[in-house]
Amino acid sequence: MTSRPLFIAALCLAVSARAAPFQISITNSAPNGTPGWSTGLLTLKPLIGLGRTPTLATDAGAWATYQFANSHCETNPGCTPTGCENGNAVRLAQRWGLTLGVDAWVVPALALGQTAVVDIEAPVGSRLSYIAWVNDASVFDDFVAMHPPGTDFATKALMSVPLFDGATPREAVDFVISGFDTNSTSATNGSGDTCTPECPATGASCFVAPGNATYGATGNLPAPATPVVRNVTAVSGSGQVRLAWSNVGPHTGVIIARRAGQSVNFTPANGATYAVGQNVGPGNNSTIVYAENGSTVASAFTDTSALTNGQRYFYKVYAFANGRQYASGNVPGSQGIWSEPTTKVGASPLWCYSFGFPSFQQPTTELGSRVFTASNGGTLTANLTQPGAQDGWEAWRPRQLDGGVQSRAVLVPLEAGAGNYLVTGDQTGRAYLFRASDGAMLWTTPDLGELIQGQPVAQLFDYANAAFQAAHPGRDVIFVATRNNGSTTNNKVYGISSTTGAVLWAYPPTNSMNWVTGGMAVDYTNNRLWVATRGSPSLRVISTLNGAQVATFNPGESDYGVNLRSVGGVNAEAVVITNTGTVFGYDLANPAQRWSVVTGSTPSAWTLPLSTGFVSPLQNMVRRFDVRPDGGSSLVWSANVPGVSGLVVDYRAPQQFVYVGGTTSRLRQIDLADGGTVRAIQMPGTATTTFGHPALDTTANRVHVGTQDGRLCAFPAPLP
């Protein structure tokens, strides 16, 4: 081993006092000239034990960790000495049987001076471990790991740190990250000579040892952090508002103030105690509706105190700790959160869920059960949507992504296990897989690009043909495309394994593709992926088996993705609308253009194919066209709709409807046959907003739609 200076400064941890969310802050403060770290793994399972190296025969889990930290110990077919194992935190978690978001969390790669903050939750009694590979293949056997301050590594237990004092979460934990060696001749000095063989084998006299200029420095306890809550949300019901929040440390409790019609402008006095019913703020214009005494800590409250349906109420949730030092209450923004109780009858929504950030993308429905959406705030949310006392309440707390989300999450039954799963991407260029039942994050990809703007899609193993199943045994494939701001020619489409999150292939092999901002379409019969882009060529056909290019076309730039059109009950055509408003149809079996239709306006969302043609949301209008077998077309109807944001079709007989979002706070229900407006619901209240792209739940008979003012609302379908 080549000795190389490596010093890691202390890491600080802040937690809530009685709940178990923790916020971990990790900084790479090694000296200049030392390498950065690979992606790392935080986990509640002890990964690293000092002493003799593991053996292939008996220590399978430890061997997986050894591979992660030693770039010469590759075992996967096709791997290069620096290619597949080292620094692959997702793969390490899978080999240990860990679940990302539950008992393991991936930490991004950290260059010198960089910091990553990771939110975790841990049960009482948990200890925390961390490992990352020193990202330098010339020093193949070095890694960094977490331990308490000091250099006494006499026991393996010191390679993790406690998160609790008994049953009480710690408000701050003092620990160090130091350098270690997987391939030392000494049990106590990893800076010494390198042993042989490099990789574990039965009987090898090699050790995992501290070294690489571990200075033995101690960390520093952080100064008392400002108390805070996160993800404050509100759900409206009849005569009530359900508030929820996440406690983040240090945390002793919260008080909640409410004001009708305007934002709460009350600032709690540090050290003061407040009681329910107390009038506070300038002119006593706000009321304390909830107050904790420091002996109990909650994360939800239902306000039922004389609320008027249709009235807008503003709330601020003020966390306190450290002798009643209060937070500002400015979560999710300076106005706090607001909600409008609803009668649930007539034109009033069944419920609205407020989260404070615009959400125009189409929600995702789990029929008769739940609805999911995401926002520019970078959270993925889940709400119950079924009649009952908890209608509209959160199914699980919002899951935080690394960046904002501007595309619809995809709900699919994957080979990852029973039930449904959510796939989404964010504005940091990562894709994520969440379990729909509890919101657990199962994996996240590395950064695939600068942004993921378009909706991911998937090809499912159970519904695919023999050729796909042979190419991808035991897994589905998820397709994700990038929108890189820095360049219009270096974008990629990635095939991602549903079981591991690993990249299976990338298209194109050279930097020759422009932005992908809309969705893609999977042709199961021919194992092909249709991708619309900016630039030229603007439509690409890719093999889902290996990412090879099948065909390209140039209909014109498109930001709105591709959909498949069924003719005679069989998917026969790919349909795409260009940014100038021309719709094209392409043969799936033998890719070639069949027809084109000029809509007469520019699009506002993707075109929805019908068996007889298509319906398009355009600027301030919706138009339906029929397409004949000979490629000719005719306009069936045109309906004026201000500020169209997207549409969904209810095909159920006897009368089929198009639900359309738009400006002026209206959700419209249009007759699919003739384009007549059957209903137009305006959001109650005086304030106006824009409705986003609606989604339909045909089991619960509901339309779900996001709004510009930061809500997700449910309405009955058909509209009353």
User: Does 2 have pLDDT greater than 50?
Assistant: no
**Dihedral (C-alpha) 551, 557, 562, 564: value to the nearest 10 degrees?**
-70
Is 267 in the same domain as 129? no
Give the span between the Cα atoms of 519 and 207, in whole angstroms: 51
Residue 113 in any domain: the answer is yes
DSSP character string of 208-268: EEE-SS-------PPPPPPPEEEEEEEEEETTEEEEEEEEESS--EEEEEEEESS-----P
Band of residue 694 on the pLDDT scale cut at 50, 70, 90: very high
- Tell me the whole-structure pTM to 2 decimals: 0.75
Residue ranges of E strands in 465-508: 477-481, 493-497, 503-507
Is there a domain that residue 264 lies in?
yes
Closest CA to 23 of 191, 272, 231, 234: 231
Instruction: Report the alpha-carbon distance of residue 339 to residue 353 in Å, rounded.
Output: 8
List for the chain the helix, strand, coil content (%; round to 5).
5, 40, 55
Evaluate whether residue 481 is within a structural domain.
no
Residue at 258 is within a domain? yes
pLDDT of residue 20: 60
Q: What are the b/e assignments for 305-320, b being 16+ CB within 10 Å?
A: eebebeebbbbbbbbb
Mean pLDDT of 406-418: 88
Which of residues 420 and 8 earns the better pLDDT score? 420
pLDDT tens track for 503-531 = 999 999 888 899 999 989 999 999 999 99
Which region, left, alpha or beta, applies to residue 560 given φ > 0 means left and ψ of -120 to 50 means alpha?
Answer: alpha
Tell me what the mean pLDDT of segment 551-557 comes to: 97
Q: Are residues 60 and 149 in the same domain?
A: yes
Distance CA 702, CA 385 (A): 9
Is 269 among the domain residues? Answer: yes
Amino acid at 526: N
Give pLDDT, residue 291: 96
286: nearest Cα among 356, 335, 252, 245: 335
Same domain? For 190 and 268 the reply is no
Same domain, 183 and 241: no
User: Which of 513, 575, 580 is closest to 540 using CA atoms?
Assistant: 513
Residue 234 has pLDDT above 50, yes or no: yes
Q: Is 437 exposed, middle or buried (0-12, 13-18, 19+ CB in 10 A)?
A: middle
Q: Which of 50-59, 178-187, 267-276 has the weakest average pLDDT?
A: 50-59
Res 137 pLDDT > 80: no
Q: Could you tell me the pLDDT band of residue 177, with boundaries at 50, 70 and 90?
A: confident
Which among 275, 306, 339 is the end of a domain?
A: 339
> Could you tell me which of 540, 632, 541 has the C-alpha nearest to residue 595?
632
Most confident stretch, 120-134, 571-585, 651-665:
571-585
C-beta atoms surrounding 52 within 10 Å: 15
Burial class of residue 632, CB neighbours in 10 A (0-12, 13-18, 19+): exposed
Average pLDDT over every residue of 617-642: 95
**Whether residue 54 has a cis bond before it, omega within 30° of 0:** no
Residue 35 has pLDDT above 90, yes or no: no
DSSP 538-580: -EEEEETTT--EEEEE-S---SS-EEEEEETTEEEEEEEE-TT
How far apart, in Å, are the Cα atoms of 448 and each of 97, 425, 459, 578, 628? 25, 10, 19, 26, 41
As a whole number of angstroms, the distance between CA 400 and CA 618 comes to 33
Q: Is the pLDDT of residue 412 over 70?
A: yes
Looking at the fold, whether 38 and 159 belong to one and the same domain comes out as yes
Whether residue 88 lies inside any domain: the answer is yes
DSSP for residue 471: H
- What is the chain's mean pLDDT, rounded? 86
Residue 200 scores a pLDDT above 80: no
- Whether 540 has a pLDDT exceeding 50, the answer reads yes
- State the pLDDT at residue 19: 36
**268 lies in the same domain as 182:** no
Res. 13: pLDDT tops 60: no
Is pLDDT above 50 for 216? no
- Tell me the chain's radius of gyration from C-alpha atoms: 28
Query: Who has greater pLDDT, 455 or 207?
Result: 455
Q: Quick check: 77 pLDDT over 80?
A: no
What pLDDT, in 10s, does the model give residues 80-98? Answer: 544 456 678 887 887 788 8
Q: Give me 158's structure tokens.
A: 């010191």
Percent of the chain with pLDDT over 70: 89
Domain boundary among 289, 308, 339: 339
- The reply to whether 181 and 240 lie within a common domain is no
- pLDDT class of 368 with cuts at 50, 70, 90: very high
Q: Are residues 52 and 153 in the same domain?
A: yes
- Rounded to whole angstroms, what are the CA distances from 141 to 5, 214, 260, 571? 14, 15, 62, 53
Task: Give the pLDDT score at 71.
Answer: 77
Same domain, 287 and 169: no
Render pLDDT for 289-329 as a digit per residue (tens, 0 to 9). 999 987 778 899 999 998 999 999 999 999 998 888 899 99
- The pLDDT of residue 204 is 64
Report yes or no on 179 lying in a domain: yes
Q: What percent of the chain has pLDDT over 90?
A: 54
Whether 711 and 350 have beta carbons less than 8 Å apart is answered as no
Q: Are residues 19 and 58 in the same domain?
A: yes
**Mean per-residue pLDDT for 624-653?**
94
110: CATH: 2.60.40
Residue 646 burial class via C-beta count within 10 angstroms: exposed 0-12, middle 13-18, buried 19 and up: buried
Task: Give the least confident one: 40-49, 401-410, 620-629, 685-694.
Answer: 685-694
At 219 the pLDDT is 34
Nearest to 412 by CA among 466, 372, 375: 372
Residues 138 and 90 in one domain: yes
Does any domain span residue 56? Answer: yes
What confidence score (pLDDT) does residue 595 get? 97
Residues of the domain holding 100: 12-210
Asked if the model's pLDDT at residue 536 lies above 90, the reply is: yes
pLDDT digits (tens, 9 = 90+) for 238-251: 999 999 998 876 78
Number of domains in the chain: 2
**204 and 64 within one domain:** yes
In angstroms, what CA-CA distances link 20 with 124, 174, 233, 318, 472?
A: 7, 18, 20, 19, 39
Check residue 685 and give its pLDDT: 66
Cβ-proximal residues to 492 (8 Å cutoff; 6+ apart), any chain? 448, 449, 481, 482, 506, 507, 508, 513
Q: Which of 285, 316, 339 is the last residue of a domain?
A: 339
- Cα–Cα distance between 347 and 329 in angstroms, integer? 33
Domain with residue 329: its CATH number is: 2.60.40.10
The band of 703, judged by pLDDT with boundaries at 50, 70 and 90, is very high
Taking every pair of Cα atoms in the chain, the longest distance, rounded to a whole number of angstroms, is: 83
Q: Which letter, b or e, does each residue of 248-263 get, where b requires 16 or more Cβ atoms within 10 Å of its Cβ?
A: bbbbbbbbbbbbeeeb
Hey, which bits of 46-122 come out as E strands?
51-52, 104-107, 115-121
